[in-house]
Structure 1
Amino acid sequence: MKKDQPQRQGVVYSTNSDFSYQTNEPTEATTLPPQQQQLRVQLDKKQRGGKQVTLITGFVGREEDLQTLGKLLKTKCGVGGSAKDGEVVIQGDFRAKVLEILLKEGYKAKQIGG
């Protein structure tokens, strides 16, 4: 089979004119608009050698959009961090500042824990 053709699953031939093949290609998740995001901001110290980080969870969308949000937060706070697997980690205790930035950008966000 050619490399540019999608891998078809299960059906070799169909006489139905309305039939569409299912492929192995993953569907890309769409990013919810900021007004529909339910973000949670919390302080986390577990498994980090006693260091405090601000953890933002609950992001639904593409990895590129998560990276963009993480870069915005890291730039505004002036610290390092990472963004992967639907969560953003900001080094240090910046819960109030991160919450203010998220609300200003139009996200639904709330602080949980302490």
Structure 2
Amino acid sequence: MTDSNLVYSTDSGRIKQSDNKQAPRSVSKDGVVRISRETKGRKGKGVSIVSGLDLDAKALKSLCTELKKKCGCGGAVKDGTIEVQTDDREKLQSLLQAKNYTVKLAGG
């Protein structure tokens, strides 16, 4: 066999592999980056969610890594947003403003 990825279906014939699925992006309509606090589904632990960054997946991951190092905490990139495991939203705001982003604190 020369093509090990070849797949057939009796229903519709040859099934093609999907090409280049783009990762979801979190884009705000007004160009403002928002930092909100969320505790749902985390057993009361608060995380700060950074949304509205119009960056590709690689740039989001590198920005997330930088924010985690500066805050001394964990985090992840999920669905085009950055989740940082800290309640210090003011520190995140100052770090993003230093990178020339317009930042607002959203929520309570």
- Once the 2 structures are TM-superposed, how far is the Cα of residue 107 of structure 1 from its aligned partner? 1.1
From 37, 44, 47, the equivalent of 2:41 is 47
Q: 1:87 aligns with which of 81, 85, 98?
A: 81
Per-residue displacement from partner, 1:9-65 (whole Å, max 9, x unpaired)?
xxxxxxxxxxxxxxx744868x9xxxx952100111111111111111112221001
TM-score (norm 1): 0.66
Where 1:79 maps in the other structure, the secondary structure is coil
Whole-angstrom CA distance in 2 between matches of 1:67 and 1:84: 10
1:20-59 correspondence runs (5 A): 25-26=19-20, 37-59=31-53
**Paired positions, count:** 87
Q: Any gaps of 5 or more consecutive residues in structure 2?
A: 4-17
5+ residue gaps in structure 1? 4-23
Structure 1 residue 83, shift from structure 2 partner: 1.3
Is the Cα contact below 8 Å between 1:83 and 1:89 reproduced in 2?
yes
Structure with bigger gyration radius: 1
The normalised TM-score by structure 2 is 0.70
4+ long deviations beyond 2 Å:
24-29
What CA RMSD, in Å, does the superposition of the two structures yield over aligned residues?
2.3
SS in 2 for 1:47: coil
SS in 1 for 2:42: coil
